[in-house]
Chain A
Amino acid sequence: MAKKVLIVDDEPNIVASLEFLLRQSGYEVHVAADGAAALRQVQAVAPDLVLLDVMMPEKSGYDVCQRIRAHPEWSNIRIVMLSAKGREAEMTKGLSLGADAYVTKPFSNAELVARIGELLQERGSPGGA
């Protein structure tokens, strides 16, 4: 069974590319356009990995990350934060709040797919293929 990836981003232009890319790479892809929807999707589909944009209106990527990490039953979900902010302080914040990786935009598709692959391989997941 394909691993499940949840893309959380409010910008349709990046979602389109990421969705296509990850489908092509063999993942089952789900999409959420804001923080609240993301948390509902996490509950509903139990993704293996969340690709989480930091800058979203209402609930920020940091908030979503913190909520996911507050639930022990979701501790196996890998979180990759995507951000247009490349400063060290933001990366430190993301990693401090429990993200597994912090990727700065613009990124290389190939590298992102590789990083996602690594993270899912590293620890595996109970529902894995």
Chain B
Amino acid sequence: MSTRGRLLAWIAALYGVALAVPAGLFMLLAAGLPEADAAALMRILAQRTPALLFGALLLLLACAAAVKWVLGGYLTAAQDLAEHTRLIQSANAALRLEAHGGPLAGVAAAVNELAEAYRGLQRDSEARAAEARSRLEEERNRLAALMSELTQGVMVCNADGTILLYNEQARMLFAATDVAARPPLVGLGRSLFGLIDRAQIEHAAQRLERSVERGERLPSARLVTVTAAGRLLKVQVAPFLGAQARLGGLVLALEDVTELLGRESQRRSLLQLLAARIRAPAANIRAAAENLAAYPEIESRRRTQFIDIIAAESRTLATTLNDALREYADALKAALRLEDMRVTDLLEFARLRIAGALGVATELDEVDEELWVRLDSYALVQAMVHLAARLRDEYGVRRLELRARPAERYAEIDMAWSGTIVASDALTQWELQPMEGGAEHTPLAVRDVLEQHGGEVWYWSEGVGGLRSGGFRFLIPGAKRPGVAVRAGGVAPSRPEYYDFDLFARDAVPAALNEAPLVRLSYTVFDTETTGLEPSAGDEIISIGAVRVVNGRLLRNEVFEQLVNPRRALNPDSARVHRIDAATLRNQPAIGEVLPSFHHFCEDTVLVAHNAAFDMRFLELKQASSGVRFSQPVLDTLLLSAVAHPSLEDHSLEAIAARLGVSVMGRHTALGDALLTAEILLKLLPLLAERGIRTLGQALEASRKSYYARLQY
């Protein structure tokens, strides 16, 4: 029952009693009177009705005043007591009740004693937790030290490609050389797929999953990627195990091999390239020269012809040499992609991709488990898918068989079909087209892929009539089986478990963001400083500060902080608040440059601000001029605080901070306020959960209601 209801009930009860007393006395008096006297009494009463009614009204007011005086303060105080006791239990055990007068003073004192005891217990468990944390911290620091010592970049991601851990080197490898470029960022909770092509990673993950299932020791895959800044990275991918010994995530070791292009040790590919180019002109020169030498009596017209050939081809040689040197880099890039792989695995991928992308039934013939090849499996599978697509589209081939056998230093891989005759020069055309299969496109052709491998492909056919069968035969350089494959029960039990592993339980992409639990979301908590309070009257942003909150953790290293040139005079009133002087701002970029960077920083997160409507209004007004729109969901800590404590009035940052036990430092800088807001957000989440608000959708809905409730005040 509400306070008002309670008060009304008490008033009614008291009034009832107050009326009953004179009524009872009157009845007692009237009971024994003779009839005439009784009639006279009634008459007198009837004449005095207005006075009686007035008396009754006065009595009611007196009762109400009495009840309000006696109980009003008591009930409010009781409610306040309950609210604060809940706060002590859920958010701030150091909070103490203020002294109340009356009978509640004892309750308040008892609650305070209980709070003291509770705080003691909490300190105890905090101390134990701190001890455990410091051990964990120590391990984490050791790991961090180890990772920072590595010259390689290291990133760890879960099976969905969310980054869980990275070192500074990894961040640097993907960093922009040009500030305006805004490359994809390395950060906790950010997606690996923004950095490296999703298909490449998925291909590696599938390979590793096979290796894990097979129980191989130390399986790894290799790929090469180009960063937004144009660096060439060699990436070694290793799996680690999650629940039920399945693939839990990937460890990526990154190495910048851009510089390798110029290194002495990589001359081999240049040599190969040169050999291929020089043979033809050298042959022309040699044949002509040998003719001149072998037939001295040659007629002079012929002699001149051969001498001209030698001169022309010598010039060709020089040009060829220069061209080859230029193309050397590309050839080397291709060579970096080659890795050793089991042919059965290769064919299994090809089978899945051909069936998946093209709907062509593909069977796998028995293949020697110990047959290995050296290849860029991603590119070769793409080549096979391309040819299968052409076979399907131009010849209606809907069933393929894949088989392989060793052929001296090569593996012979057949993609075979039966009952269809394919023109013998069809392959010649298809292998020169840019590869296309399923949804993927690339400028490379099958021929390019085979050149990179030092491999070949040709068409063969045998048999007659309807029994005729044919196939494409790939010749791929063989490789030695690397290491020893061990089938072990529990694989790699010594893998360390770091922080943030609960990220693994996360859904890849929340089916609907609305349904996503608040504690699992990625947030950008931000604040702006402005020239004044009226954006529509020309006030401008002069500073933006933001910090990321991922999976319930405040990431103090992943911040955004930028002063902005407002291109207008500062209002002295606000200048007193933020203490930024005009001279500092003159050298800063304008909002049109800053907002796109900030927008990039906020990608795929929920925005959070205190009194967000104010900041969002500024951002919205800049939408047209900056060309970026902040369309993600927005949470307001002011509204969330009102949702968590509907009966409390003050929801300023300071008041909430004091209530929830967050220490206030560095206020009135955008980043300082953003950090404070972020800490408050983290404290509010459990309070909201107590009220049954656990998802983003619920929080937005409750905020909306609270907003309208506040408007009515």
B6 part of interface (Cβ distance < 8 Å):
no
- Which of B280, B409, B460, B473 lies in contact with A11, CB distance below 8 A? B280
Q: Are B291 and A20 in contact (CB under 8 A)?
A: yes
Q: Are A96 and B458 in contact (CB under 8 A)?
A: yes
Of chain B, the residue at the smallest CB distance from A104 is B279
B480 part of interface (Cβ distance < 8 Å):
no
Residues of A within 8 A of B279 (CB): 83-86, 104-106
Which of A42-50, A56-64, A116-124 contacts the other chain? A56-64
Which of B306-314, B575-583, B666-674, B702-710 contacts the other chain? B306-314
Majority DSSP secondary structure for residues of B touching A:
helix
Among B326-383, those with CB < 8 Å from A are none
- Which of B283, B288, B477 lies in contact with A16, CB distance below 8 A? B288
Q: How far is the CB of B449 from chain A (nearest CB, A)?
A: 13
- Which of A16, A83, A89, A110 lies in contact with B410, CB distance below 8 A? A89
A73 part of interface (Cβ distance < 8 Å):
no
Q: Are B290 and A92 in contact (CB under 8 A)?
A: no
C-alpha gap A60/B280 in the complex (Å): 16
Q: How far is the CB of A81 from chain B (nearest CB, A)?
A: 13
Q: Are B477 and A17 in contact (CB under 8 A)?
A: no
A13-B276 CB under 8 A given contacts A20-B291, A21-B291, A59-B425: no
Q: Are B459 and A92 in contact (CB under 8 A)?
A: no
Q: Are A108 and B288 in contact (CB under 8 A)?
A: no
Residues of A within 8 A of B410 (CB): 88-89, 92
Q: Are B275 and A106 in contact (CB under 8 A)?
A: no
User: Which one of A24, A82, A88 has the highest number of Cβ atoms from chain B below 10 Å of its Cβ?
Assistant: A88
Contact with A along B263-288 (1 / 0, CB 8 A): 00000000000011101101111111
C-alpha gap A87/B275 in the complex (Å): 10
Q: How far is the CB of A23 from chain B (nearest CB, A)?
A: 10
Residues of A within 8 A of B302 (CB): 20
- Which of B283, B285, B288, B473 lies in contact with A84, CB distance below 8 A? B283
Q: Are A85 and B282 in contact (CB under 8 A)?
A: no
Residues of A within 8 A of B460 (CB): 96
Residues of A within 8 A of B312 (CB): 13
B428 part of interface (Cβ distance < 8 Å):
yes
B419 part of interface (Cβ distance < 8 Å):
no
A contact residues, total (Cβ < 8 Å): 37
B613 part of interface (Cβ distance < 8 Å):
no
A75 part of interface (Cβ distance < 8 Å):
no
Among A33-74, those with CB < 8 Å from B are 55, 59-60, 62-63, 66-67, 70
Residues of A within 8 A of B290 (CB): 17, 21, 108-110
A29 part of interface (Cβ distance < 8 Å):
no
Q: Are A11 and B284 in contact (CB under 8 A)?
A: yes
Q: Are A17 and B306 in contact (CB under 8 A)?
A: yes
A101 part of interface (Cβ distance < 8 Å):
no
Q: Are B306 and A16 in contact (CB under 8 A)?
A: yes
Q: Are A109 and B454 in contact (CB under 8 A)?
A: no
Residues of B within 8 A of A110 (CB): 290, 294
Q: Are A14 and B424 in contact (CB under 8 A)?
A: no
Q: How far is the CB of A74 from chain B (nearest CB, A)?
A: 14
C-alpha gap A69/B312 in the complex (Å): 36
A97 part of interface (Cβ distance < 8 Å):
yes
C-alpha gap A83/B275 in the complex (Å): 12
B contact residues, total (Cβ < 8 Å): 38
Q: Are B424 and A17 in contact (CB under 8 A)?
A: no
- Which of A17, A66, A67, A89 lies in contact with B284, CB distance below 8 A? A17
A18 part of interface (Cβ distance < 8 Å):
yes
C-alpha gap A13/B458 in the complex (Å): 29
Q: How far is the CB of A21 from chain B (nearest CB, A)?
A: 6
Residues of B within 8 A of A115 (CB): none
C-alpha gap A21/B290 in the complex (Å): 9
C-alpha gap A107/B410 in the complex (Å): 26
Q: How far is the CB of B69 from chain A (nearest CB, A)?
A: 103
B494 part of interface (Cβ distance < 8 Å):
no
Of chain A, the residue at the smallest CB distance from B460 is A96
A100 part of interface (Cβ distance < 8 Å):
no
B475 part of interface (Cβ distance < 8 Å):
yes
Residues of A within 8 A of B456 (CB): 89-90, 92-93
Of chain A, the residue at the smallest CB distance from B280 is A84
B686 part of interface (Cβ distance < 8 Å):
no
- Which of A11, A63, A104 lies in contact with B425, CB distance below 8 A? A63
Residues of A within 8 A of B408 (CB): 88
Q: Are A93 and B475 in contact (CB under 8 A)?
A: yes
Q: Are B285 and A106 in contact (CB under 8 A)?
A: yes
A107-B276 CB under 8 A given contacts A13-B288, A92-B407: no
- Which of A11, A59, A86, A88 lies in contact with B275, CB distance below 8 A? A86
A14-B283 CB under 8 A given contacts A66-B424, A67-B424: yes
Of chain B, the residue at the smallest CB distance from A24 is B295
Of chain A, the residue at the smallest CB distance from B277 is A84
C-alpha gap A92/B400 in the complex (Å): 24
Q: Are B276 and A84 in contact (CB under 8 A)?
A: yes
Q: Are B458 and A62 in contact (CB under 8 A)?
A: yes
Among B73-89, those with CB < 8 Å from A are none
Q: Are A21 and B287 in contact (CB under 8 A)?
A: yes
Residues of B within 8 A of A105 (CB): 279-280, 282-283
B72 part of interface (Cβ distance < 8 Å):
no
Q: List 8 A-B residue pairs with CB atoms under 8 Å apart, sorted by A's residue number.
A: A16-B309, A18-B287, A70-B424, A85-B276, A92-B410, A106-B287, A110-B290, A110-B294
Interface residues of B (CB under 8 A from A): 275-277, 279-280, 282-288, 290-291, 294-295, 302, 305-306, 309, 312-313, 407-410, 424-425, 428, 454-456, 458-460, 473, 475, 477
Seed contacts A106-B285, A109-B286; 6 additional CB < 8 Å A-B pairs: A17-B290, A18-B287, A24-B291, A63-B428, A66-B424, A89-B410
The 6 closest A-B pairs by CB, nearest first: A105-B283, A17-B287, A106-B283, A84-B279, A84-B280, A109-B290
